[in-house]
Amino acid sequence: MSETKLRERGAAIYLVAAGLAAIAGFGTVYLSFAPPDNGRPEAKEDSGAAGAGAATSREAAKGSLAGLNKGAMAPLLVRASPLDLPDVNFNDASGATKSLADWRGKIVLLNIWATWCVPCRDEMPALDRLETELGGDAFEVVAVNIDRKGPDKAKAFLQETGATHVALYTDPSGKLFAALKAVGMPTTLIIDRNGKEIARLVGPADWGSPEAKRVIEAAVAQPAS
């Protein structure tokens, strides 16, 4: 084989190797930044205990939401056991301070959103439909805006998207996002009557879908502890 052909063959091998390395590198970056339980409905909790995965899966199978994370709710992470949450504060439309403790005794779908979040704009009408159909004494959609420039823009956003049944809540401090360990926008938590997280979904979802309604109905039907 001529020297020229050897150089050409070597260059081709190098390019293939570089491409494979780039792909592997991308996967590493994605896994590094993705939440460890993202998209896995019965993922092991952050206990760090070796061999806990099987036990966690068995526990998750007993939960009221087990098996409901499918269809439009496929990305929903169902917690194996309810997780304690910090009692975070935010404001209602009048500027009064609210906290998650104010909703004790009620199932809450806590949605964290912003006006600059394009998926949030697509998702808000579905949240409004969910509140319209299922909202009441047992359940409420609590959508908290985290824009830093006051409530006016958030209020206009709700009007523009036709969200007439979702109340305006705001957290201009942005502390809510960090306190609840949100990793993207929007992030939605389902919270039980005791103020504990029982499920989480990162990213937009069709909360007006039959699958979403079944999830909420199952949460509401769960006996209070």
pLDDT one-digit tens code per residue, 139-148: 999 999 999 9
Q: How far apart are CA 201 and CA 199, in angstroms?
A: 7
Q: Is residue 39 in some structural domain?
A: no
CATH of the domain at 207: 3.40.30.10
Average pLDDT over residues 25-48: 35
Q: Is residue 143 in some structural domain?
A: yes
Percent of the chain having pLDDT more than 70? 72
Q: How far apart are CA 74 and CA 70, in angstroms?
A: 4
Higher pLDDT, 41 or 75: 75
- Using 50, 70 and 90 to split pLDDT, how confident is the model at 28? very low
Residue 43 DSSP code: P
Residue 84 DSSP code: P
Number of Cβ atoms within 10 Å of the Cβ of 104:
13
Cα radius of gyration rounded to whole Å, the chain: 22
Q: Are residues 121 and 216 in the same domain?
A: yes
Q: Are residues 23 and 81 in the same domain?
A: no
197-202 sheet: strands from edge to edge? 77-83, 197-202, 187-191, 107-113, 139-145, 169-170, 89-92, 97-99
Q: 23-46 b/e with 16+ CB inside 10 Å = b?
A: eeeeeeeeeeeebebbeebbbbbe
Number of domains in the chain: 2
Q: How far apart are CA 28 and CA 151, in angstroms?
A: 39
Average pLDDT over residues 115-123: 96
Q: Are residues 101 and 197 in the same domain?
A: yes
Q: Is residue 70 in some structural domain?
A: yes
Domain extent for 11: 1-33
Q: Are residues 26 and 80 in the same domain?
A: no
Q: Are residues 70 and 174 in the same domain?
A: yes
Q: Is residue 75 in some structural domain?
A: yes
Average pLDDT over residues 130-145: 97
Q: Are residues 25 and 85 in the same domain?
A: no
Q: Is the bond preceding 41 in cis, omega lying within 30 degrees of 0?
A: no
Angle of helix 210-221 relative to helix 118-134, nearest 10 degrees, comes to 50
Residue at token pair 């957290």: 171
Q: Are residues 124 and 185 in the same domain?
A: yes
Q: Are residues 23 and 57 in the same domain?
A: no
Q: Are residues 95 and 193 in the same domain?
A: yes
Q: Are residues 16 and 100 in the same domain?
A: no
Q: Residue 61 contacts by C-beta under 8 Å, 6 or more apart in sequence? A: 42
Q: Are residues 115 and 23 in the same domain?
A: no
Q: Is residue 46 in some structural domain?
A: no
Higher pLDDT, 5 or 50: 5
Beta bridge partners of 112: 144, 187
Number of H helices, E strands in the chain: 6, 8
Prediction pTM value? 0.74
Least-confidence region, from 59-63, 87-91, 140-144, 205-209: 59-63
